[in-house]
Structures are given as C-alpha cells and as structure tokens.
Structure 1
Amino acid sequence: MSAIALNVFPIFILILLGWIIVKTGVLNADVGDALGDFVFKIAVPFLLFNTIYQADFHGASPFRLWIAYFSGVAITWTLGHLIATTFFGRDARVGVLAGVSSAFANNVFIGLPLVGRTVGDEGIVALSILLAVHLPLMMVIGTVLMENAERKVGGGPSRGLGTILRQIAANLVKNPLIIGLAAGLLVHVSGVPLPQVVSGVVEQIAGIAAPAALISLGMALNKYGISGNLGIASATSFLKLFVLPACVWAACQLLELSPSWTSALVLTSAVPTGINAWLIANRFGVGHGLAASTITLTTAAGVFSVTFWAWLLG
C-alpha cells in the first residue's frame, strides 16, 4: 500500500498545491487559466506525439480497448441519467448532464499523469489510443442528447444531427490533442526517426505536461465548489469514482485485455470528473451547480478512490 500511496498521493498533492496557490493569492486564477491553455495546447499534445511516435503496438487492435472502456461509460451514463430523472425527479436536460458528470473522466489532466506514474509507457500507449476517440465520441453523444432533451423540455427546433456533427468535426480538426495524436501516428508509420535535437526538445516539453496539468487543474478548482445539489452530486460522484471503473474492469476481464492496458483503463476511469461536464452545462445554460459540485466532490474524494483501485489492481 505504501508503494501505491507514493504513486497516487503526489498526483493529488500537486492539485492541492494549485488550489492553495490561488486561494492564498500567490497567483490569481487567470494565471491558472493561461497555464491550463499551455498544457492543453502545447504540453499534452507533445506528450501524446512523443508517446505514439515511440510506441510499440505489438500488432494490438484498439477495438477491444474502446469496447471495454465505452461499455462502462454507457452503463454509468445511463444510470446517472435514470437516477437524476427518476429518483430525483429532474428534467431530461439535467438527466443528460448527470450522465455526463458520471461518465466523463478527466483523462488528460489527471489520467495521463496517473497512468504514467503507476503503469508506465504501455499504460500511456493505451490511454493515447483511448484519447484518439474519447473526446470526439463523448462530445458528440453529449451534444446530441442535450439537443434532444432541450427540444423535449422547451419545444425548440432541432438543429439536426448533420449540423451538430459538422460543428463538432470542425472543432476537432483544430483540437491540439487530435493534432498531436495524428502527427505522432504519421511519424510512427513513416518510420523516419526524429533528429536527436528535435527529439530532445519534444521530450523536455512532454515532461512538463504532467505537473503543469495537475497544478493548473488545482488552480481552476477555485471556480467551482459545492453549490446545492448535494444529493444528486453525491450519486453522480459515486457512479464516477466506483461504478464506472468497476464496469470497465469487468469489461476488460471479459475481453481479456493485457494487465497493463486493463490497469490503464481502470485507473483513468477512476479519476475525477472532467471539466467538460461544466463546459456542456455552460453551453446549454443548465445544471451548473450539478457539474461544479460533481467536479469538486470527485476531486476531493479522488485520492481515496484511485488509491483503492490501484491497490485492487495490484
């Protein structure tokens, strides 16, 4: 357990450090936003590029990995939606947001550093394969479902699936994570080695990604907090931290994924809810309190849930 703690605790200590930096006024939240932009647009794309460029896939197919992870997402998302609409009596829009909050893991800012520390390079490869489709798929599903819920609740016109897909595709083409993954795959397939100087620069920038991501996330957490919705937020937090990783673990066993890929998928599914839940709430103007409360609760409890799953995985 002590070895697990040494891998897991520093992740959350860096998040706490970022939170303290803003809370005590050493730096303001705007600096955290700028650091987050650097992480998302520069550091993490370089990390993904470097990982895919150097990866040895051993001829492995990504489809079992995607099926294992997204089957867990589908189950957890559905449960979150049903709990919000049936047990708590919320409308369909809040139901969609509850599903998003229950199933959208912070794979970039916490998942990557955590998997890198606990699983190593093979785990990063597995997570990179997941990230290639995670954001596009989750945003498409979340947006389409929320559009339908808006129409049911408010009776507004539908934009149509084609319009939604074109808008999301246009955004994804410019997404730095997708660019980093695609560039890494292109260089990997070409077989042309990077010059030593270029490779050294790439590795140095990639090395910044993990600590900078965690500190910037901690700085951003000052925007959230718990604003009502404690009952439903507690339910979505439990789904996120325990039900989702349990479903992913079961799917990995059924599909016979390797131990390293299983560990990577389970651990990244056990991390706190990503800020994408807040972004969707902002986009549609509903469920801000639920999204903020779930992000805060899962981040506060994440150190315990991640430690539990890391111990269970051995």
Structure 2
Amino acid sequence: MVLINIAILIGIILITTLVTKILKLKKELALTYIFCTFFGNVAYIGFPFIFDLYPQTASELSILIAIHVGVAFTLGVFILEYYKSNTVNILHVIKKIITNPLLIAIALGSICFALGITLPHSIDRTIEMIAGSASPVVLIAIGLFMAKKIEFDSDFWHAVTISGIKLVIMPSVFILATLLTKTAGSMIPSIIEAAMPVALTNFALAEIYPMKKKIIADAIIISTWISIISLTVLSSFFI
C-alpha cells in the first residue's frame, strides 16, 4: 500500500510537469498546477473526515499523511527549487524534510508505538487537547479564505480547473490503480485522501516560491466548497 501510494503521487507530479511543459505554461502557473493538483488537505481535513468513517484506520492514516507530506517536501520542493533558480540545494530540501512538524510528529509517534513508550497522563492529556483544537483552528483559517471575494477572471478558471483535477481526477487515478493492483479494501483511505481539497500549505509555499497566490487562494476556496458534496458522494460508495 505504501509503495503504491508513493508511486501514484510521483507519477501524477511527473505527468503534470510534462503537461505544463507541453502546454508551455509560464513558470508561476506551471508550479501552481504541479503542486496544487496533487497536494491536498490530507491532515487537517482528511484525517478527521476519514477517521470519523473508519476509526480503526488511525495508524494507516498517519502513514498516508506522512507519504503525501513526504512526497510534497522531497520531490515537490525539489521541483520548486529547480524552477526558482534552475538549481537544487539538496541540503535545503533535506532541511525542509527533517524540520517539517507533521513528519516529526508522525516519526515520534511511530517510535513511541514501536518501543511501547507511554507518556505520563498529564502530557498525554495535553497532547489530546492540542490535537482536538487543530481542526477548529483550521476551519477558521479556511473560513477566512472562503470569506474572500472571488473575481471571475482567468485566474478563477485556472482555479476551477485545478479544483476539478484535485477532486475528480486524483481520486479517479487512485481508483484505477486500486482496480489494477486488486487492493480494493486497503486502498479506500488512500482514495478518499486523494479527493481532499487543495491544501492551505500551498498558499504558504507561494510566499517562498514562484506560484500564483491568487489562483491558489481561489482553488482553496472552490475545492473546499465543492468537497462538501464530492467527499460525501465519494465516501458513500465505501460505507
């Protein structure tokens, strides 16, 4: 399951990169498509949404999140760095990986689980409270985006296209891979994670790398709104 997910994500990134080259999109627009079409809100929306449907998949979801974030901050950042300066600083990419909070949390959790380490009740309870506050905070952040006025210009239609790819084509690719590899049962969380709306992280990355911030902001709003329906429809097939 892990290798299949990694292979699909890498394949999608490479194909999207190739398509942007063929269409001769400008650097900023190309990077926006490359990153936003594959990197969705797998942690802050994906985890609670899927966990509510399948409570027994908590550890599997952590692995899936690590895969998505890992690919985003390795191959994804590699491509961003290359487009930014036509060179790649390997040390910078490594630093991005080892300092990513999500990956650090997952790594520490995996180590504690593997070694049978249990935290003191006070610390465990504090972590639970922090974890419980994450989703409401993210919902507020998403709400701030969704309160933004959308202008129906060319950027809007690019955002619509990105949203369509993210919410429809991405899960379709995972469904096809599931059928080809005959791994229907184990790939359900992967399929639903693939259908998550565009990640808020993409907007933050646009502050550092040459991407279209307005398109990303619009894509976050549009894909998040539509995902209310699309995720409901998609998940209904697996319940």
Instruction: Provide TM-score, normalisation by structure 2.
Output: 0.83
Once the two structures are TM-superposed, the CA of residue 128 in structure 1 deviates from its matched residue by: 0.4
**Counterpart for residue 136 of structure 1:** 70
Is the CA contact 1:224–1:293 (under 8 Å) kept in the aligned structure 2?
no
CA–CA distance in structure 1, aligned partners of residues 162 and 191 of structure 2: 18
Cα distance, 1:230–1:216 mapped onto 2, change above 3 Å:
closer
Number of the residue aligned with 1:51: none
- Distance in 2 (CA, whole Å) between partners of 1:275 and 1:212 is 12
Structure 1: give runs of 5+ residues left out of the alignment: 1-63, 152-157
1:108 alignment partner in structure 2: 43
> Secondary structure, in 3 states, of the residue corresponding to 2:208?
helix
Q: Which residue of structure 1 lines up, in the alignment, with residue 101 of structure 2?
A: 176
Q: CA deviation at 1:78?
A: 4.7
Choose the corresponding residue for 2:171, options 245, 268, 272: 245
The RMSD of aligned alpha carbons is: 2.7
Q: Contact 1:69 / 1:251 at 8 angstroms: preserved in 2?
A: no
CA distance in 2, matches of 1:207, 1:121: 18
Q: How big is the shift at 1:71?
A: 3.6
For 2:179 and 2:48, how far apart are their aligned partners in 1? 24
Residues 293 and 83 (structure 1), Cα distance of their counterparts in 2 relative to 1, 3 Å cut? farther
Match of 1:40 in 2: none
Map of 2:155 onto structure 1: 229
Per-residue deviation, 1:277: 2.2
Shift of 1:150: 4.2
- Could you tell me how far 1:104 is from its partner in structure 2? 0.7
CA contact (8 A) 1:102 1:236 kept: yes
Which structure carries more helix by proportion? 1
Tell whether the 8 Å contact from 2:5 to 2:67 is kept in structure 1 after alignment: no
What amino acid is aligned across from residue 144 of structure 1 in structure 2?
F
Give 1:206-221 correspondences, 5 Å limit: 206-221=131-146
CA displacement at 1:92 relative to structure 2: 4.0
Structure 2 CA distance for partners of 1:212 and 1:117, relative to 1, 3 Å? farther
User: What SS is found at the alignment partner of 1:109?
Assistant: coil
Look up the SS of the partner of 2:109 in the other structure: helix
Deviation per residue, 1:61-119 (Å, 9 max, x gap): xxx23x332343345445544555555x5224422321211111111111111111112
Following superposition, the deviation at residue 197 of structure 1 comes to 4.6
Task: Show the counterpart of 2:9.
Answer: 73
- Higher-Rg member (1/2): 1
| Contact map agreement 1:273 1:299 (CA 8 A) in 2 | yes
Aligned length: 238
Q: State the Cα deviation string for residues 249-278 of structure 1 (Å, max 9, x = none).
A: 22234334462x422111111110002322
Counterpart position of 1:96: 31
Contact 1:77 1:103 in 2 (8 A): yes
Counterpart CA distance in 2 for 1:224 and 1:85 is 31
Give % identity.
20
TM-score by length of 1: 0.66
Letter in 2 for 1:255: T
CA distance in 1, matches of 2:52, 2:102: 20
Task: Answer yes or no: is the 8 Å Cα contact 1:103–1:240 preserved in 2.
Answer: yes
- Relative contact order higher in (CA < 8 Å, ≥ 6 apart): 1
Alpha-carbon distance, 1:196 to partner: 4.3
Amino acid aligned to 1:252? T
1:295 is matched with which residue? 220
The 2-side partners of 1:99 and 1:174 are apart by 23
Distance 1:173 1:86, change over 3 A: closer
Structure 2 unmatched ranges of 5 or more: none
Q: Secondary structure at the match of 2:75?
A: helix
What's the offset of the Cα at 1:247? Answer: 0.9
